[in-house]
Structure 1
Amino acid sequence: MRGDQREINQVSQKRQNVEPRSNPRLPTEAFAKAAKAKSPCITKAKAMSTSARPKRARMMGHIVWVLVLWAILLNLLTFNGYPIDTGEVALAFLGLGAIGAVLGVLTQELGPVLRHVLTPLFATIAIDLGFGIDPLHFFIAFAALALISYLWYDLFLTVFFSASLSVIVFQAFGMASADHGAGDPSRETAATQQRPNGPSDRPALIHIIFDSYLGLDGMALGPQYYRDLREEQADFFIREGFQVYPRAYSRHARTLNSLPTLFTYGTRKDSEFAAGVQYVAPAQLPYFTDLDQRDYAISAVLPAYFDLCVNQKMSQCRTFESSHLTSMLDTDLSMTDRIKVFGYTILNLSQTVRMVVSVFEVLEENRGGNNTRLLANRSELFPLASLKMLDTFIDDLATLRRGEARFAHILLPHDPYILRPDCTVKPESEWLDEHGPGATSARERAYADQVRCLQTKLSDLLNELDRTPAGREAIILFHGDHGSRIAPSQPIVDAPPLSPREEIMSFSTFYAIRIPGEASGEIPGTHALDELMADFRNRDFASAPRPPSIAPRAAYIDAMGTPTEWRELPSFEP
């Protein structure tokens, strides 16, 4: 025991001699060795941390593209007000999830070089799909993201992951709290005309422009199925009390140039809106000024891209998106076809994707013909969106009163040609476009189907008008804004020349008016729309126009869509 006590005292004495910064529990030499030694537990923890970080990064790299694609789809559905509790939406999420998983494999498992190329490339495409950047800024963004990816790859992935997840949460919350009823996709603007009631001594005026509505003598040029269509149209309108103008035509083959010309009675024949213009809000137009001065209560329904609600005198004005995904609801279009439209719409959001695809489309055409619809056209739903708005317009006629002027611009029978004569929707694989590709005869037959659908709706409209005194007394004006344009191209100055028939197909347009008390029939002569509208105004909007017949002249455009050259049109004679 005493020996042990001496050892304890010696250890205690040594502890007193240890420097203050040394471990008081160990001799100095032992402490130094302990400091240099690596604890097995610490070593294991560090090893686990080192292996865990790349695993988390790889996992994030696999998942991020799924989230990105889901965020893009959710953004599209939210913008269009499309309900998410549908079979096509569920399948679209599954499909995009699979594509995102493949992108994750490509970026994470093919080596660091491809990782630092593909990751910023996919990220730039995702940004382009969200914001629509032009090709120059696309490459600038790609270069910047490639540098960031190379220097701070994990941080880059984390930011992109977090941003995509935030979009999904935000959009999902918004859609969950939104009203999922069918609803009306149109938007009503503030009234610029404080006149709820028009003059009771004036009959109501119904004025509808039907986009791409070919004139009767344009149809008469054949072939036989067009001549049959002409007879059907003439018989229908004359039977319903209309005066029809078989050789009416538009000065322009483009809506953005045609409408300002006719609304100004031809004083702006050189209306210039270049190709690619997405939105026009024209200044006050004489036609609507004249209606306002006659105390009409003016209301309108029209596509948002040619916005008359801003500067025209209107007591009520609604715009609608010309191509809206919700127009596919309540149709017999299959889930597969709806998903296709989702996909084409997403791809068309990217300017760069459209440009790259168009290059391949041109190359395919030069190699001997491309029979596949162009990507730029495959997301368009113009007829479906307009069909729903026309139905709404017809339903609202029950409240028509004298002194009202109700105007509408309807994108029918505008392409794509997707409707059967009974207005049911054809499968997406059968849809066709005015300029092709595809055989001219197939496009013209499909166009004729869409005209017959329109005729069915016009019959519904006239039946609705017949139910009310104001409707039976109303003046009704239906006309087109240009021809069917079923030709290789629009009338362009330096393009390969169109045949005489193709020129007529571009400019010939429908015009028919019903004036109570005036006899129906075909009105001879060749008349521009602006001439007809000017004479209608000169007759105080109370009787059918009879302007003098003048040789037709129309504007050819340059490659940018600007009218640059006036030419005499060929004869309407077959």
Structure 2
Amino acid sequence: MILLTPFFIFLIPFIYFVKFNEVPMLHPEFFALLGSIVIVSLLSSLALYRASWVRLSLALSILIVFSLSFLPEFQSGVPLKIAFFLVLVLAIQLREKTLPFFCMIAGICCMATLVFSVGHQFNAVTISEKPVNSNPDLPPYIHIIFDEYMGVDAIPTNIGQGQALQNEIKTLFPAYGFRLFTHAYSRYSRTYDSIPNLLNFTPKSQDGYYFPGGFSKQILTENKDFELISKMGYKIRVYQPDYIDFCHAKGADYSYCYTYPVYSFKAFYHLNFPWTARYPYLLKSYLLSSFIYQNALYDYVYTIRPLAAKIKIYLPDYPWDQNQLSSLNTLVALEQLKEDVIQHSNDGSAFFAHILLPHSPYIYDENCQIHSNPMDWLINYDFGPQGNTPERRVLRYQLYENQLQCLSKSLKTVLDTWQTTGVMKNAIIIIQGDHSSRLPVISPTIENEGVCSWQDFNDAYPALFAIKAPFYFAGLDNARYSLTYLFGQVSEQISHTQFPIDNNNDFVYLTDAVPGLRVNQVIEPLSAFIAAS
């Protein structure tokens, strides 16, 4: 009984995790993870061996609550505290019957989790289509947002291949007839603010303004851009990750919605990696499903390390704090867009794509080969919202530049194909980023007002903006414009209508360090970044 009880307790979330993520059960890493559960269970059994009923009650309460923290119903502190109290009271009441009772309950829960459906992670592309009338005489309209594609002149020239990359991008876009705005910038450093405000032409000061229902499901129901192009006679084809949902805007005529997963074990298991590389990632992902583990990491990454860094004590980075796979499915989505544009270029379609490249994690090298060790797939920060150490910023920029070079090669293939097939001749094409690389040393948050340098500005806000249209000459434009102003102007020219757009004053918004609190963001003039440098 002393052996079985901890094992059954830890087996419940393990079964849930395996079923929910559809982890292949015949792979060696599955058995390695199960072996880890067995080892932890044995160690827990040793701690319970010959324990007094008080110590046994307390230990079982802790084990059960930690196990519950892996389940979706217990992803906050309140239900876990209630569960701890109830289990502790029950264990004290049962005394010598505590172990048999909880062993039986845990065993029943294991069987129930094994037998009944628990749902599964969104891990495969979904497509929805419906017939929509459109005007086939309209030119193809293609709008691609590459997430974290920083402004060209913001690419640091003192790191890696930065200068060569700047020159390459400045040559690439004009060669295909684009006007490239080298100093374009977003008013926001986060996607959930940048893109919704862009598509509605005027910037709002409230964080998460377009998601009044919260951030659990980010469905953009207000999209003036989609309304506008629908009124022009276009039918809309959307290519998106399962992050922000662009397929349910009011007044928009959708004909097609392609959604690819941000977090997909299936895509991960298609990679030809040895099990010894997959197991640590699987274990890390499992641990990150625990609310208690997440909070312990949150305190270390977001609080303890940044505070220590302020007094020049640099505690070690903890590489087990992220399991993002957001870059992994992006090239497939870009390929799908390329082929669909060719097929539907003459039927009045407008194409909108949100592609999570060169967004972290930095999975690809400059030739679009995947780095073979998933534990080296860094994300874009070292201190959570507090930024990076200077040394880690340099390391991340080198990885970011490689992923950006991969994207440039892929994009060149797309544009070559469209040029060969005649799509480029009449098409209106906008290719842009949504904000910068987000690799600052000091993150542009409200807490850091007046402290961020011009380097931090470049790492947070400047974004790519290039357009090919009959009313723009190919070449470079070195003036400074906000993305919302540029896109508003373009939309007015495309639709031959006028509406309120951004005033292009020189400022950005600083938001709260913790995403999604719906705070009123602070206006920071660009001059403040220069003054702090």
- Do they fold alike, i.e. is TM over 0.5? yes
Quick one: which amino acid aligns to residue 429 of structure 2?
Answer: I
Quick one: which amino acid aligns to residue 352 of structure 1?
Answer: I
- 426-435 or 439-448: which moved more? 426-435
- 2-structure distance, mates of 1:355, 1:508: 32
- Gap change, CA 1:371 and 1:447, over 3 Å in 2: farther
1:488: which partner in 2?
441
**Residue 361 of structure 2 contacts residue 379 of structure 2 at CA under 8 Å; is this kept in 1?**
yes
- 246-255 or 86-95: which moved more? 86-95
Give yes or no for the alignment of 1:277 onto 2:215: yes
Query: How many residues align structurally?
Result: 499
- Gap change, CA 1:549 and 1:226, over 3 Å in 2: farther
Q: Shift of the alpha carbon at 1:551?
A: 5.2
1:93: which partner in 2?
34
1:462: which partner in 2?
415
TM-score norm. by structure 2 comes to 0.84
Q: Shift of the alpha carbon at 1:333?
A: 4.2
Q: Shift of the alpha carbon at 1:472?
A: 5.0
| Aligned pair partner of 2:507 in 553, 557, 560 | 553
- Gap change, CA 1:111 and 1:560, over 3 Å in 2: same
Q: Shift of the alpha carbon at 1:246?
A: 0.3
Per-residue CA deviations over 1:152-172 (Å, capped at 9, x if unaligned) read: 422222111111122123469
- Gap change, CA 1:541 and 1:184, over 3 Å in 2: farther
- 2-structure distance, mates of 1:65, 1:184: 28
Give yes or no for the alignment of 1:64 onto 2:17: no
Give yes or no for the alignment of 1:103 onto 2:48: no
Q: Secondary structure at the match of 1:486?
A: coil
| Aligned pair partner of 1:372 in 303, 306, 317 | 317
Q: Secondary structure at the match of 2:508?
A: strand
**Residue 210 of structure 1 contacts residue 478 of structure 1 at CA under 8 Å; is this kept in 2?**
yes
Q: Secondary structure at the match of 1:384?
A: coil
Point out the structure with max Rg over C-alpha: 1
| Aligned pair partner of 2:227 in 289, 292, 295 | 289
- 2-structure distance, mates of 1:461, 1:110: 66
- 1-structure distance, mates of 2:220, 2:503: 29
Give yes or no for the alignment of 1:133 onto 2:59: no
Q: Shift of the alpha carbon at 1:145?
A: 1.2
Relative contact order, CA 8 A, sep 6+: which one is greater? 2
- 2-structure distance, mates of 1:88, 1:394: 36
- Gap change, CA 1:98 and 1:364, over 3 Å in 2: same
- Gap change, CA 1:254 and 1:295, over 3 Å in 2: same
2:281: which partner in 1?
341
Q: Shift of the alpha carbon at 1:111?
A: 5.2
- Gap change, CA 1:391 and 1:115, over 3 Å in 2: farther
| Aligned pair partner of 1:303 in 233, 238, 241 | 241
Per-residue CA deviations over 1:370-414 (Å, capped at 9, x if unaligned) read: 3324644x2111111333333333343442232111111111111
For 1:273-422, list aligned pairs within 5 A: 273=208, 277-312=215-250, 313=252, 314-361=254-301, 362-363=303-304, 366-367=307-308, 368-373=313-318, 375-376=320-321, 378-402=322-346, 403-422=348-367
Aligned-residue CA RMSD in angstroms? 3.2
Unaligned runs of 5+ in 2: 383-387
- 2-structure distance, mates of 1:249, 1:360: 32
- Gap change, CA 1:67 and 1:492, over 3 Å in 2: closer
**Residue 146 of structure 2 contacts residue 356 of structure 2 at CA under 8 Å; is this kept in 1?**
yes
Quick one: which amino acid aligns to residue 433 of structure 1?
Answer: I
2:111: which partner in 1?
165
- 2-structure distance, mates of 1:366, 1:555: 24
- 2-structure distance, mates of 1:423, 1:109: 57
- Gap change, CA 1:462 and 1:89, over 3 Å in 2: farther
- Gap change, CA 1:228 and 1:413, over 3 Å in 2: same
- Gap change, CA 1:425 and 1:489, over 3 Å in 2: farther
- Gap change, CA 1:341 and 1:397, over 3 Å in 2: farther
- 403-412 or 463-472: which moved more? 463-472
- 1-structure distance, mates of 2:424, 2:343: 9
Give yes or no for the alignment of 1:142 onto 2:84: yes
Q: Shift of the alpha carbon at 1:214?
A: 0.5
- 1-structure distance, mates of 2:304, 2:123: 42
Per-residue CA deviations over 1:533-563 (Å, capped at 9, x if unaligned) read: 1111111269xxxx99955211112345534
- 2-structure distance, mates of 1:534, 1:364: 41
Give yes or no for the alignment of 1:199 onto 2:145: no
| Aligned pair partner of 1:118 in 31, 34, 59 | 59
- 2-structure distance, mates of 1:164, 1:235: 60
- 2-structure distance, mates of 1:433, 1:568: 28
- Gap change, CA 1:300 and 1:503, over 3 Å in 2: same
For 1:19-30, list aligned pairs within 5 A: none
Q: Shift of the alpha carbon at 1:250?
A: 0.5
| Aligned pair partner of 1:474 in 427, 441, 458 | 427
- Gap change, CA 1:126 and 1:221, over 3 Å in 2: same
Q: Secondary structure at the match of 2:187?
A: coil
Q: Shift of the alpha carbon at 1:93?
A: 2.9
Unaligned runs of 5+ in 1: 1-56, 176-182
1:433: which partner in 2?
379
